[in-house]
Structure 1
Amino acid sequence: MRKVKKKIKIYFPDPKFNDTLVTRFVNHLMKNGKKNLAYKIFYDAIKKIEKIKGEKEERSALEIWKEGLKNVMPHVEVRNRRMGGSNIQIPISISSSSKITKAMKLLISCASIRKNEKTMAHKLACEILDAFKEQGEAIKRKENIHKMAEANKAFSHFRF
């Protein structure tokens, strides 16, 4: 067999919220092995969401983050395949774990390129709130991925 079955990584829950999804997000946020700094950025972002959200919103900041993550989650992706001398893009549905990973990476990358905010925690908080409201750069990128898949729907019968 050419393809080896991927091992499913087991994540331990984070210390504050006791949630494995938070640990997974922090692992994607982490750079150069500085996990404590990544946790600090994430927890500061959650605190800022708690301040910004207002009193009329009854959900907690963690629920807002999860809802924003769900809104950013792409359901399909396009992959290149060489067919007769030309490359065609084939839309393929994504597994649930890949959806979560892509959503996290989209959210973090879109937060890091924001220009108006100073700290990464503030950038992340604003991007999470934008994703929760279904606006912002991460939602635009997700819609762009879906548009590419829709445009190449004719090639969907060439699946791998």
Structure 2
Amino acid sequence: MFDRSNVVNRKVNIESDPIYRNRLVNMLVDRILRDGKKSLAYHIFYRAMKRIKQKTNINPLSVLRQAIRRVTPDIVTESKRVGGSTYRVPVEVLPTEGKALAIRWLLLACRKRSGRSMALRSSDELMDAARNQGSAVRKKEETHKMAEANKAFAHLR
């Protein structure tokens, strides 16, 4: 079973990115990262932000923050084995864990999208998430529905 007490005590010092000076951006770039090519991940992210700026004429950082906020789950379900049965037990999510889940879901949705480049797909998904649409927001809603359906097993925490 995953022990949540270690998550609270184990704070990782996340650096900020060179252009926006934001830790959230660096967390997202680290998740885009494939095969250790961080410069390529930054390139993809900054092209996506540039496209968001062109399409919406809004600060792309605020669009990113809003997208993350809309995708961050409040509650998730964990598998708990009691006796011979496995139950999905709803558990509240810590803010840092929720943000990490939101970033993971956004990038999974970007990778599943059809499109030419990762920058285009990620800009579209971020704009959709900021408007409370898209695959990542649907994933959050499904997670909340699952937790609501299994509310009866909350006492097994």
Q: Would you call these one fold, judging by a TM-score over 0.5?
A: yes
In the alignment, structure 1 residue 135 sits paired with structure 2 residue 133 = yes
- Correspondence for 1:155: 153
- Correspondence for 1:19: 22
Deviation at 1:84, TM superposition (A): 1.6
- Paired letter, 1:31: R
Distance 2:108 2:35 in 1: 16
Deviation at 1:8, TM superposition (A): 1.2
- Correspondence for 1:144: 142
Identity of aligned residues (%): 33
Unpaired runs of 5+ in structure 1? Answer: none
Question: Could you give the per-residue CA deviations for residues 43-62 of structure 1, whole angstroms, max 9, x where no partner exists?
Answer: 000000011114xxxx4111
- Correspondence for 1:53: 56
1:76-155 to structure 2, matched below 5 A, reads 76-115=75-114, 117-155=115-153
Distance 1:97 1:38 in 2: 22
Distance 1:11 1:106 in 2: 20
**Greater CA drift, 144-153 or 6-15:** 6-15
Question: Could you give the per-residue CA deviations for residues 24-72 of structure 1, whole angstroms, max 9, x where no partner exists?
Answer: 1111111111111110111000000011114xxxx41110111011001
Q: Which among 39, 42, 47 is matched to residue 39 of structure 1?
A: 42
Q: TM-score, normalised by structure 1?
A: 0.92
Greater than 4 Å deviation, 4+ residue runs? none
For the residue of structure 2 that corresponds to 1:5, the secondary structure is helix
For the residue of structure 1 that corresponds to 2:35, the secondary structure is coil
Deviation at 1:5, TM superposition (A): 2.8
Distance 1:123 1:135 in 2: 14
1:68-79 to structure 2, matched below 5 A, reads 68-79=67-78
Q: Which among 2, 9, 12 is matched to residue 9 of structure 1?
A: 12
- Paired letter, 1:64: V
Distance 2:15 2:78 in 1: 32
RMSD over equivalenced CA pairs, Å: 1.4
- Paired letter, 1:87: T
Larger fraction in helix? 2
Q: TM-score, normalised by structure 2?
A: 0.93
